[in-house]
Amino acid sequence: MLNLVIDIGNTLSKVALFNGRSIVEQYVLDRVDEEAIAGIIEGKRLDHAIISSVSYDITAVENYLRSVASYIRFSAFAAKKLNNQYKTPETLGLDRYAAVIGATYLFNAQDVLVVDAGTCITYDFVDKDRNYFGGSISPGIAMRYKAMNAFTGKLPLLNMKEDFNASNGVDTATSILSGVQNGVVYELKGFIASYLNKYPELVVALCGGNVKFFETQLKNSIFAPIVRAVPDLVLIGLNEVIYQNNE
């Protein structure tokens, strides 16, 4: 079964072709349109397609996909094997929900904390019985740097430095680096510790644009044995929705 999975973000979009449950091709696009999709699937017999989008109008792309495959528009109501206890599912971020669906597939019958480290950092919990209880939303790393610059008179705008590992800063720049990057790691470890206290068999699934940074920060910690980096977790979750809707 050949599936086309499209995750349209605020700035970039990820597109993947799945042969069954394995990714065989993957692309990052500035914009998703009919021409781009036609080029990706040219010469292929597409069975199913799904789009997750919270940004621009995709009516034309949807109409094209309906003409070449069985098409699904992803929403918080699309999953068939998840007990969604979020009180306002219509406001639930689609990336968050797709990542949770992917986690329930990859870590079946396990308690999972899904950490999506992107523009914002989200922490979402799903238990071993597939009950999704919601989670937490926190500012992402770049957002923290921008906020410190925007809301102060003198602090400079800095960018993330993945190789920074000092416990404290020795000037203004390194003090900002220490505060932002150490702070976000302490936050992550605090969330993990809190959930682990309640769910001793917890697995932590990392995804998002800063997944490598968090994976590196946790690899020598006491949490390393329970951490799994899954960069394509959102795409995997969207592909799983196709399966759930065709069973």
Domain that holds residue 31: 2-73
CA distances from 128 to 17, 77, 199 (A): 29, 20, 10
Write down the mean pLDDT value for the chain.
Answer: 94
Q: Is residue 175 part of a domain?
A: yes
Q: How far apart are CA 129 and CA 104, in angstroms?
A: 9
- Of 57, 32, 129, 29, the residue nearest 49 (C-alpha): 32
Does residue 89 share a domain with residue 66?
Answer: no
Q: Is residue 247 part of a domain?
A: no
Q: How far apart are CA 81 and CA 103, in angstroms?
A: 12
Does residue 142 share a domain with residue 121?
Answer: yes
| Residue segments in the chain with a per-residue pLDDT below the cut of 50 | none
Does residue 110 share a domain with residue 47?
Answer: no
3-state secondary structure of 62: helix
Q: Is residue 45 part of a domain?
A: yes
Q: For the chain, where are the E strands, in sequence order?
A: 2-8, 13-19, 22-29, 48-53, 70-73, 83-84, 112-117, 120-126, 131-139, 203-207, 227-229
pLDDT, residue 65, reads 95
Q: Which of 41, 73, 105 is the last residue of a domain?
A: 73
pLDDT, residue 10, reads 73
Q: How far apart are CA 166 and CA 153, in angstroms?
A: 25
* DSSP-assigned states of every residue in 86-139: -S-GGGS-HHHHHHHHHHHHHTTTS-EEEEEESSEEEEEEE-TT-EEEEEEEEE
Does residue 102 share a domain with residue 222?
Answer: yes
Does residue 160 share a domain with residue 228?
Answer: yes
Does residue 126 share a domain with residue 104?
Answer: yes
pLDDT, residue 233, reads 97
Q: Are 26 and 72 in contact (CB under 8 A)?
A: no
Q: Which of 73, 97, 128 is the last residue of a domain?
A: 73
pLDDT, residue 56, reads 65
Does residue 229 share a domain with residue 149?
Answer: yes
- pTM for this structure? 0.93
Q: Which of 36, 53, 73 is the last residue of a domain?
A: 73
Q: Is residue 243 part of a domain?
A: no
- How many independent structural domains does the chain possess? 2
Q: What is the pLDDT of residues 66-76, one digit of tens each?
A: 999 999 999 88
Catalytic residues: 95
Amino acid at 69: A
Q: Is residue 173 part of a domain?
A: yes
